[in-house]
């Protein structure tokens, strides 16, 4: 994109001020487009620190957004502020448009089906999205509450107490995310 702002009475060769103005306009447009296009392209846009703290009943640190992986999945990690080991909440999420922008062959639905095919001892959870499964808590592969809804697939992991407590808290957080998935 070549935007050069100069007055008609100037020569055809722009001056340094004109180049600076052009660069400022171009940068403003890039930032504006990036903020509009990417406003909800991060898992942290779907859970607020205050929502997580309210559900968990403890103070949490700010959500730490991780860069999207090659499939377009975004992660938002909320460590519990008391510094006790392994207490956290995490949202891992992909939406169809995120995967498409990452040039992924996956959609939320195909990634959900694929991932559920690799997990054992899934417990079906009703009342959340189109499909939802609990795969337990802890640090094992695939742990968390996996939810498919519309064009979104997300996993909520909670490590705050027993497996039953973690499921109850994960359900509450999943309901918050579902209210924001449009």
Q: Are residues 27 and 82 in the same domain?
A: no
pTM: 0.75
Residues ≥6 apart with Cβ < 8 Å to 43? 65, 74, 75, 76, 91, 92, 93, 154
Instruction: State pLDDT tens for residues 107-155.
Output: 999 999 999 999 989 999 999 999 999 999 988 889 999 999 999 999 9
Q: What is the pLDDT of residue 84?
A: 66
Q: What is the pLDDT of residue 140?
A: 84
Our count of domains for the chain comes to 2
Whole-number Å distance between alpha carbons of 120 and 103:
29
Helix (H) or strand (E) holding 108: helix 108-118
Task: Using alpha carbons, list the distances in angstroms from residue 168 to 26, 52, 110.
Answer: 48, 13, 26
Contact between residue 60 and residue 87 where contact means Cβ atoms under 8 Å apart: no
pLDDT reading at 9 higher than 60: no
Instruction: State pLDDT tens for residues 154-173.
Output: 999 999 989 999 999 999 99
Q: Are residues 22 and 110 in the same domain?
A: no
Q: What is the pLDDT of residue 82?
A: 76
Q: Are residues 32 and 56 in the same domain?
A: no
Q: Are residues 33 and 93 in the same domain?
A: no
Domain span including residue 87? 43-180
Q: Are residues 132 and 61 in the same domain?
A: yes
pLDDT reading at 90 higher than 90: yes
Q: Are residues 31 and 47 in the same domain?
A: no
Task: Using alpha carbons, list the distances in angstroms from residue 55 to 47, 166, 171.
Answer: 11, 11, 10
Q: How confident is the model at residue 8 (pLDDT cuts 50, 70, 90)?
A: very low
Q: Are residues 13 and 62 in the same domain?
A: no
Q: Are residues 137 and 52 in the same domain?
A: yes
Whole-number Å distance between alpha carbons of 133 and 122:
6
- CATH number at 127 reads 3.40.1000
Whole-number Å distance between alpha carbons of 74 and 60:
19
Instruction: State pLDDT tens for residues 12-57.
Output: 444 444 322 333 322 322 222 233 334 457 899 999 999 999 999 9
As given in the structure block, the two tokens for residue 88 are 């956290």
Task: From 156, 24, 165, 145, select the one nearest 77 (Cα to Cα).
Answer: 156
Q: Are residues 82 and 127 in the same domain?
A: yes
Q: Are residues 32 and 69 in the same domain?
A: no
- Asked which of 46-60, 73-87, 94-108, 140-154 is least confident by mean pLDDT, the reply is 73-87
Q: Are residues 101 and 18 in the same domain?
A: no
Q: Are residues 63 and 152 in the same domain?
A: yes
Whole-number Å distance between alpha carbons of 95 and 42:
10
């Amino acid at each position: 994109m070549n935007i050069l702002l100069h007055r008609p009475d100037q020569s055809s060769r722009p001056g340094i001020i004109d180049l600076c103005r052009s660069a400022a306009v171009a940068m403003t447009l890039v930032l504006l487009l990036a903020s509009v296009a990417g406003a909800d392209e991060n898992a942290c846009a779907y859970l607020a620190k205050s929502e997580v703290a309210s559900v968990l009943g403890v103070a949490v640190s700010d959500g730490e957004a991780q860069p999207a992986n090659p499939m377009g999945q975004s992660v938002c990690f909320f460590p519990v502020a008391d510094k006790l080991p392994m207490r956290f909440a995490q949202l891992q999420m992909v939406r169809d448009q995120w995967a498409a922008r990452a040039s992924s062959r996956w959609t939320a639905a195909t990634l959900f089906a694929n991932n559920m095919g690799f997990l054992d001892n899934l417990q079906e959870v009703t009342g959340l999205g189109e499909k939802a499964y609990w795969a337990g808590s802890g640090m094992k592969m695939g742990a968390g509450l996996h939810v498919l809804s519309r064009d979104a697939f997300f996993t909520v992991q909670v490590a705050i107490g027993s497996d039953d407590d973690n499921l109850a808290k994960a359900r509450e957080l999943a309901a918050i995310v579902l209210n924001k998935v449009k």
